[in-house]
Chains A and B, each alone.
Chain A
Amino acid sequence: SAVISQKPSRDICQRGTSLTIQCQVDSQVTMMFWYRQQPGQSLTLIATANQGSEATYESGFVIDKFPISRPNLTFSTLTVSNMSPEDSSIYLCSVLPGLGLNEQYFGPGTRLTVT
């Protein structure tokens, strides 16, 4: 199993500013992901965080808006840049310790409100 912590758990930010969300895992994991969950909606994959290289972004998400770092196998950050009210969402870090039928674990999420 994997235990994931995220900081901050919630924040209220002004438009035009940036927020960096941290994700820490209690063990080394193969893959780390960032998801966005808008209120009452499903989880949408933002990107796969790759250790030591640029993240792989899904369609509709770009590095300038959501820069991601992954310096090692247990830690990653997601920055939400130049925020607007449309960025108000829950951001979840997720990890996959191994391939195949392994469970993908999720952090508790960061609730972001942009005013």
Chain B
Amino acid sequence: AQTVTQSQPEMSVQEAETVTLSCTYDTSESDYYLFWYKQPPSRQMILVIRQEAYKQQNATENRFSVNFQKAAKSFSLKISDSQLGDAAMYFCAYRSALGTALIFGKGTTLSVSS
């Protein structure tokens, strides 16, 4: 079975600074997808960024980028120029290429200070 591990329960960053959230996963599959979701206090889950395992190029979405290391099974999220609105719980998630449901890590609570 696949597992996702986020080893940082809480992280903090100052506005305009950069922060990196860690995620590792375990799978025996070669084809899969990885995601970062954000959950603000409103509870609504928001997709931040996604990555296909067979693509070596790291995904980027504006201020958000990932460092995908397939051999190490690592998928970290970098947030640049942090904003107050980035404060939320961030979940790393895995999906098999077979199209099953997302499997989530335990989450990292990010606080942003001015």
Given A90-B43, A92-B45, are A100 and B33 also a contact pair (CB < 8 Å)? yes
The verdict on B44 contacting chain A, using a C-beta distance below 8 Å, is: yes
- B91 and A96 contact, CB distance less than 8 A: no
The verdict on B71 contacting chain A, using a C-beta distance below 8 Å, is: no
Measured between beta carbons, the chain B residues less than 8 angstroms from A94 are: 45, 101-102
- A42 and B105 contact, CB distance less than 8 A: yes
The verdict on A26 contacting chain B, using a C-beta distance below 8 Å, is: no
- B43 and A109 contact, CB distance less than 8 A: yes
Number of inter-chain CB pairs below 8 Å: 47
Complex Cα gap A48–B45 (Å) = 18
- A101 and B50 contact, CB distance less than 8 A: yes
Measured between beta carbons, the chain B residues less than 8 angstroms from A30 are: 99
Chain B nearest CB, measured from A85 CB (Å): 21
Given A92-B45, A108-B43, are A48 and B50 also a contact pair (CB < 8 Å)? no
Measured between beta carbons, the chain A residues less than 8 angstroms from B50 are: 101, 103
Measured between beta carbons, the chain A residues less than 8 angstroms from B106 are: 41-42
Interface size on A, residues (CB 8 A): 21
- B104 and A43 contact, CB distance less than 8 A: yes
Complex Cα gap A43–B50 (Å) = 18
- B101 and A45 contact, CB distance less than 8 A: yes
Chain A nearest CB, measured from B9 CB (Å): 10
Chain B nearest CB, measured from A40 CB (Å): 9
Interface positions of B (Cβ within 8 A of A): 33, 35, 43-45, 47, 50, 52, 91, 95, 97, 99-107
Interface positions of A (Cβ within 8 A of B): 30-31, 33, 41-45, 48, 90, 92, 94, 96, 99-101, 103-104, 106, 108-109
